[in-house]
């Protein structure tokens, strides 16, 4: 089995650690993106780079790849060749949303998934059944404008209307109503020995959204031989929301930026629970974070 069962993951898996074994990254050469796994400078090209596969309505225009250029459109951009996972990686996407602000059943999804699980495009123009990780940016869930992570072992098909119940971590991210791009950084490091742990971390503009040491990406699974598809997909539903990609860089190390201490965490909404004493009728309120509601071992702050 490639990943823990999703239900087990949601009920018991996530935890934040206060330190990270960074020996392999700190002792490595200067962080340089892997050219064949990254986007070329889009200001210097006239068509999408040949190492990427655009689909649907995706276009290159004025130094940016527009996944949803018009109302009610879909787009996708997948790395042509799967990446071979070694011990660690960092992926940085610089993206933005323009032309619409408000609730929508559309969204933009980032993928790191098994190369044998590309069966359909029904979930934000990506596969509803996948083995690996999806990072979703949308404004239709209970948090409003947010970014969240979904992990799957490929045994179930996700649906838009219940995907929020299957998130293992999330945070507020105000991406609509501004033309300023955001940089989403996903980093992963495999444990080096029995004294260290895996670490998966998501940052937005250098602020930590969530991190966990409970996720493992197999490197030698029979199903995919350690190969993973990397891509971004989008669906703007019945709106004119334009999801755009300005930059993407892939590293085979955990970069120095990914090791920035958690001085500032991403914003989290607060939830208020009303408690009524049945014997006295006394009413009091208790404040809890959304991450506490999702899992009492989840946090976005060290």
Summarize pLDDT for 214-234 with one digit per residue, the tens.
888 887 766 677 899 999 999
For the chain, how far is it from start to end, CA to CA, in angstroms?
A: 30
Task: Answer for the pair 87, 190: CB distance below 8 angstroms, yes or no.
Answer: yes
Q: Report pLDDT digits (tens) over 264-285.
A: 666 655 556 677 877 887 887 7
Prediction pTM value: 0.80
So what's the pLDDT on residue 271? Answer: 58
pLDDT attached to residue 260 = 81
What local confidence, expressed as pLDDT, does residue 142 receive?
Answer: 87
Positions of the chain with pLDDT under 70: 1-30, 116-118, 192-196, 221-223, 262-273, 286-302
Query: Judging by beta carbons within 10 Å of its beta carbon (0-12, 13-18, 19+), is residue 111 exposed, middle or buried?
Result: buried
Give the per-residue pLDDT at 80. Answer: 95
pLDDT at res. 216: 87
pLDDT of residue 89: 96
Q: How far apart are alpha carbons 233 and 255 in whole angstroms?
A: 25
In sequence order, what DSSP letters do the residues of 230-284 get, joined into one string? EEEEEE-TTS--EEEEEEEEEESS--TGGG---SSBPP--EEEEEEE-TTT--EE
Task: Determine contact, residues 231/135, Cβ cutoff 8 Å.
Answer: no
Give pLDDT, residue 223. Answer: 66
């Amino acid at each position: 089995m490639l990943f823990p069962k999703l239900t087990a993951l949601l009920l018991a898996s996530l935890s934040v650690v206060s330190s990270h074994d960074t020996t392999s990254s700190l002792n490595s050469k200067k962080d340089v993106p892997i050219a064949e796994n990254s986007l070329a400078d889009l200001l210097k090209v006239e068509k999408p780079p040949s190492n990427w596969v655009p689909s649907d309505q995706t276009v290159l225009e004025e130094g940016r790849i527009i996944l949803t250029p018009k109302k009610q459109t879909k787009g996708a951009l997948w790395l042509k060749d799967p990446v071979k996972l070694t011990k660690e990686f960092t992926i940085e996407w610089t993206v933005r949303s323009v032309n619409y602000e408000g609730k929508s059943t559309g969204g933009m999804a980032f993928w790191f998934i098994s190369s044998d699980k590309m069966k359909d495009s029904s979930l934000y123009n990506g596969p509803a059944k996948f083995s690996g990780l999806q990072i979703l940016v949308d404004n239709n869930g209970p948090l409003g404008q947010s970014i969240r992570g979904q992990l799957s072992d490929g045994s179930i098909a996700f649906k838009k209307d219940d995907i929020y119940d299957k998130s293992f971590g999330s945070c507020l991210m105000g991406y609509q109503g501004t033309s300023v791009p955001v940089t989403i950084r996903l980093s992963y490091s495999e444990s080096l020995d029995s004294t260290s742990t895996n670490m998966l971390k998501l940052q937005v503009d250098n602020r930590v959204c969530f991190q966990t040491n409970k996720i493992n990406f197999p490197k030698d699974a029979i199903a995919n031989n350690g190969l993973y598809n990397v891509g971004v997909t989008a669906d703007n539903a019945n709106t004119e929301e334009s999801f755009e990609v300005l930059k993407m860089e892939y590293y085979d190390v955990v970069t120095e930026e990914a090791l920035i201490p958690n001085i500032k965490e991403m914003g989290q909404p607060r939830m208020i629970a009303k408690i009524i004493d049945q014997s006295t009728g006394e009413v009091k309120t208790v404040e809890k974070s959304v991450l506490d509601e999702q899992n009492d071992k989840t946090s976005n702050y060290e």
